[in-house]
Amino acid sequence: MLYSLIKPLLFAVDAELAHEVCMELLNDLQALVPQTRVEKPVRVMGIEFPNPVGLAAGLDKNGDYLPGLSKLGFGFIEVGTVTPKPQAGNPRPRLFRLVRHQAIINRMGFNNKGVDYLLSQIPERPRPYVLGINIGKNLSTPLDSALDDYCLALKKVYADADYISLNVSSPNTPGLRQLQSEKALDSLLYGINECRKALQDHHQYNRPIALKVAPDLDDRAIPVIAELLVKHHIDGLIATNSTLDRPQVNKHALASEAGGLSGEPLCQKSRNVLSSFSQALQGEIPIISVGGIMSAEEAQIRLKLGASLVQLYSGLIYRGPGLASKIAQSINI
């Protein structure tokens, strides 16, 4: 109800400013908001999730807003993308609303305060949600040294995360998506698995690792990636990140803005990638579906197509923060 009243004001100002104001307001008012808990437990990647509806990475990059977000009924919250060192990201403006398409274009560029700051914001267990931490490489790190950044971040977050996701699919870090090619991904996942083995030995417990992929993969790449996930014992797949394609919004004044497109126009593409990976993996690795999920009906479709969990982002912007609990209460698992 409150969101419907303030939404016109938020949509009247710069999108990134509105995001910051809304998230600060959520934190400031969280003490007044009753805890929303939706108990539809599901076990995925060896973790007991309170319900299968999560927040996608990108909305809370630094863990600043976990107190407020924890009240919204999410079964899991994924923070980040976080990099080993702080970085400013791309120049503003870098976030754009395409309102009539219920879409967003962003070229944020992994703006974040660095992994050490993120860790200082994470509450101790027990938490009322599963916490995922999404990690990436710094812009200044050459692509052939990307593994060093991922391993450094993995070591830092291993104890505090419930699972860790690897972002190799953002369109806003130059060259990053090249890590999805067969040779590069084989090498990266081998190195990640070796790093994880050492961390398991040291900590004496396992933290599941998921890979987040782009929606713009060609059909030949999907079975190759699926095979590599199994080969290197990766625990989950997150499909998908934002898209570079613009056919559904090409007449919009903002369509030529650089960056990844998310929201309603991504829906069918994300469905297609989910379905293809589901066929390729045959249940060997669980899939978290994200991209264009704006309703409980769409979330249910993703589960039927083979997803074990779903994540929201743009839907929260257009439908409001009550969307998470509404979907969690409505879907059947």
pLDDT tens sequence across 16-74 = 999 999 999 889 887 777 778 899 999 999 999 999 999 999 999 999 999 999 999 99
- In Å, what is the CA distance from 235 to each residue of 2, 63, 167, 176, 302? 39, 23, 14, 21, 19
- H runs (alpha helix) in 122-168: 146-157
> Averaged over 123-139, what is the pLDDT?
97
Quick: pLDDT tens for 80-92: 999 999 999 999 9
Residue 120, amino acid: S
**Mean pLDDT on 124-149:** 97
**Domains in the chain, CATH or no CATH each:** 2-330 (3.20.20.70)
**Catalytic-labelled residue, pool 70, 165, 169, 170:** 170
Please write the tens of the pLDDT for every residue from 162-201. 999 999 999 999 999 999 999 999 999 999 999 999 999 9
What is the separation of C-alpha 306 from the centre of its chain, rounded to a whole number of angstroms? 18
What pLDDT, in 10s, does the model give residues 297-309?
Answer: 999 999 999 999 9
Catalytic status, residue 256: no
Alpha-carbon distance 215 to 213, whole Å?
7
The alpha carbon of 146 is separated from its chain's Cα centroid by a whole number of angstroms, namely 19
Q: What is the pLDDT of residue 288?
A: 98
Which residues does residue 312 pair with via DSSP β-bridges, in sequence order?
A: 55
pLDDT of amino acid 2 = 72
Q: Residue range 195-220: average pLDDT?
A: 96
Task: Quote the pTM value.
Answer: 0.97
| pLDDT score, position 293 | 98
Nearest to 164 by CA among 85, 47, 282, 299: 47
Taking only the tens place, the pLDDT of each residue in 272-294 is 999 999 999 999 999 999 999 99
How confident is the model at residue 250, as a pLDDT? 92
In whole angstroms, what is the distance from residue 302 CA to residue 235 CA? 19
CB atoms within 10 A of CB 284: 9
Q: Lowest mean pLDDT of 1-10, 63-72, 236-245, name the range.
A: 1-10
143: exposed, middle or buried (Cβ count in 10 Å: 0-12, 13-18, 19+): middle
Residue 1: pLDDT band with limits 50, 70, 90: low
303 to 64, 112, 149, 277, 328: CA distances (angstroms):
30, 32, 33, 13, 12
Confidence label for 4 from pLDDT (cuts 50, 70 and 90):
confident
Strands annotated E in 180-234: 209-213
Q: Which helix (H) or strand (E) holds 54?
A: strand 53-55
Q: Using the CB atoms, write b or e for 54-79: b if 16+ within 10 Å.
A: bbbbbbbbbbbbbbbbbbbbbbbbbb
Stretch 132-148: mean pLDDT: 97
| CA 135 to each of CA 115, 145, 286: distance values in angstroms, whole numbers, following the listed order | 9, 15, 19
CB neighbourhood size of 210 (10 A) = 26
